[in-house]
Amino acid sequence: MLQYHYLHSDNASIKRGDLQTLINIVICKMFRSYLLVVSIFVFLFQVSLVFSSRGVDISQASTIAAFQCLKSKGYDWAVIRVYGKFSIIDAYIFPCFSCGNGAGQVEAMVKYIHSYKTNVDMVWFDIEGPGVYWSSDQSKNRDFFNSMLAGAKSAGVKVGVYTSESQWEPIMGSWTGGADYPLWYAHYDNNPSFSDFVPFGGWKKPHAKQYEGSVSDCGIGVDLNYY
């Protein structure tokens, strides 16, 4: 003889033999779970929109008015060039390999900035120009990079790396010595997103992207970036 037992769900008693009713309840619960997953996805998507932002990097002298203008146009952050080939110029570091002493270059840059009572949260090492600004000996380039890291540690600043696959690999080879630091990569596709990113140099994901270069805005030349 088939015996009926009772299950309790949502304050309703249901006979185990009533399969259709049980199936309906299961489907209902699955649908609720589906709605929960969709709600979480929408929430995360909205959060990603909130925390994504656009910025600029600048390699020339500027004014307060120009920065106020850029801010009014929706740019939230800026990276400023601070060191050039022969002397301190003005706020990322474009190192001079042939000058030697990578640590000293970083320390001098930070000291100069501090002399104006300004603090820098992140110093980006601009790694580009294979065969022009770097040695043809990749091991020497790696040693110079490590020297810069030592200088940053001594100066008490955080480090990021600005480069791209086409620049990093000819300079550093397959070395992954920069992968512990945030990556700011360049790809001029006029697309403010990371959808184009392909891992290289040990980096699995980027921190920021330079998606358009040499744009004139607010009376100064800037590069456009996505974070």
Active site residues: 57, 126, 128
Encoded tokens for 170? 């000819």
